[in-house]
Amino acid sequence: MSEVVVLDGMPVAAAQYARALSPRRRPPLAEGLPDRVVNLLHHRCEVADVAAYDRVCGFDLTDELPSTWLHVLTFPLQLTLMTAEDFPLAPLGMVHVSNTITQLRPTLIGEPLELRVRAEGPRAHRRGVLVDLVSEALVAGERVWEGRSSYLSRTARLDGGEDSRWSSLSRPSEDGKSGPIRDDERSRQARPAEGEEGSRQARPAETPMPTAGLWRLPSDLGRRYAAVSGDANPIHLNPLAAKAFGLPRTIAHGMWTHAHALAVFQPRLPDAYTVSVKFAKPVLLPSTVRFAAAQTEDGFAAQLTNRAADKVLFVMDVSAR
């Protein structure tokens, strides 16, 4: 039986990041993740908050909540789990590698929501350890939305699941430097992509999708999305913080990219659908990126590449249910 932590209000993500910054001793990963559900019983969305999110992401303001907005609502609950004393992985520096959202039916802005989040894993990954944060939104006991966010810890290793080819990267190298920055630089040279399915998704699709957009992403996009989503992860806000995590400059929030890509299809989305995305490479700010889209048998496929269209940054698949 899982422990249930009932929150008395929506946590503030920025304060949680501050907590996450303080160093602490964590329990060993081998003991697994805490068996815990974080539960917020009542949450009601304000039109102004949804409107501000819609404007930054490109959604039209309708009576229905964008399905990615429900991820935004569950994210502070995810952080509550991941910043707990007994969570074995350090949340800062983790990479959001993939995300799946299933909208079972549209949720209206005024509907009272119950949110539940738990962690699943850890799973071994060739570049570290993956955990899944599994979220649900309910209206009057009816499940209306499910989300699964997979985060990669590049510093942790799980016994037995480690890919021996890459294990040396976490040890000191010849010049004595070590740690996540070095690790990241090496792996970027060695591999075409960073994501979970990176090497498979690294090249544009075999049949090229037609270009359906050229997005000019301004340097303050991270700050703008942080203001409407509450996700104030410093790698999106501050170039120095981004450098500390091995990035040349700030990067766009993966969930902004996801939301903006989904917004292209907003008027065409069915009432019930599953949208799966992979964050293959970081989207640097500022930059100009190319969006391509295609209709599939049961929905839509989309990908974001660099402007020259030879490097895939993000892929998305939407399927009607």
Partner 1 sequence: MADLRNAVIVGSNRIPFGKVGGAYASASNIDMLTAAIDGLAARFGLAGERLGEVGAGAVLKHSRDFNLTREAVLSSALHPATPAYDVQQACATSLTAAVQLSNRIRVGQLDVAVAGGVDSASDSPVAVSDRLRRTLIRLNAAKTPLDKAKTLAHVRPSDLTPEVPKAAERRTGLNMGQHQALTTAQWGITREAQDELAAASHHNLAAAWDSGFFDDLVTPYLGLTRDQPLRPDTSVDKLAKLRPVFGDGPDASMTAGNSTPLSDGAATVLLAEEGWARSRNLPVLARIVDAETAAVDYVLGNEGLLMAPVHATARLLGRTGLALQDFDYYEIHEAFAATVLCTLAAWESADYCRDVLGLDAPLGSIDRAKLNVHGSSLAAGHPFAATGARILGSLAKMLAQRGSGSRGLISVCAAGGQGLVAIVEAC
Residue 292 interacting with partner 1 (CB under 8 A) = yes
Per CB under 8 A, does 212 bind partner 1? yes
Cβ proximity of 183 and 155 under 8 Å? yes
* Strand ranges of the sheet holding 273-279, from the earlier edge strand across to the other edge: 3-7, 36-43, 113-125, 128-139, 142-153, 95-103, 273-279, 312-320, 299-306, 287-295, 211-217
Per-residue binding letters, 158-197, with partner 1 (x by CB under 8 A): ----------------------------------------
CA dihedral 27, 160, 182, 150 (to 10 degrees): -70
Q: Give the residue from 76, 96, 154 showing the smallest Cα distance to 277.
A: 96
CB of 269 to partner 1, least distance (A): 13
Report the distance separating Cα 169 and Cα 178, nearest Å.
8
Closer to partner 1 by Cβ: residue 264 or 320: 264
| Segment lying near partner 1 (by CB under 8 A), choices 77-85, 159-167, 195-203, 209-217 | 209-217
Q: Which of 128-136, 274-282, 294-302, 310-318 is the region at the interface with partner 1 (rule: CB under 8 A)?
A: 294-302
Give the containing element (helix H, strand E) for 289. strand 287-295
Question: Is 114 strand, coil or helix?
Answer: strand
Under the binding rule (CB under 8 A), the answer on residue 308 touching partner 1 is yes
Interface with partner 1 (CB under 8 A), residue total 19
Query: Which residue of 15, 47, 190, 214 would you call a contact of partner 1, by CB under 8 A?
Result: 214
Please give the structure tokens belonging to residue 288.
């100009």
Least gap, CB of 65 to partner 1 (angstroms): 21
Nearer residue to partner 1 within complex by CB, 191 or 223: 223
- Using the minimum distance from each CB to partner 1, give the nearer residue, 147 or 299: 299
300 part of the interface to partner 1, by CB under 8 A? yes
Which of these ranges, 36-44, 64-72, 208-216, 240-248, lies near partner 1 under the rule CB under 8 A? 208-216
Residues 30-89 that bind partner 1 (CB under 8 A): 55
Residue 293 binds to partner 1 (criterion: CB under 8 A): yes
| CB distance 14 to 230 below 8 Å | yes
Count of all residues that appear for the chain in the document: 321
If one asks whether residue 256 binds partner 1 (CB under 8 A), the answer comes out as: no
Helix 67-82 to helix 47-57 angle, to the nearest 10 degrees? 100
Instruction: From 13-21, 88-96, 128-136, 203-211, give the range in contact with partner 1 by CB under 8 A.
Output: 203-211
Please state, in angstroms and as integers, the Cα–Cα distance from residue 10 to each residue in 25, 86, 116, following that order: 27, 21, 12
Q: Does 297 bind partner 1 (CB under 8 A)?
A: no
The answer to whether the beta carbons of residues 57 and 100 sit under 8 Å apart is: no
**Residue 235 Cβ, how far from partner 1 at the closest point, in Å?**
20
In angstroms, what is the minimal distance from the CB of 110 to partner 1? 23
82: exposed, middle or buried (C-beta count within 10 Å: 0-12, 13-18, 19+)? buried
Contact footprint for partner 1 (CB under 8 A): 55, 209-216, 220, 264, 291-295, 300, 307-308
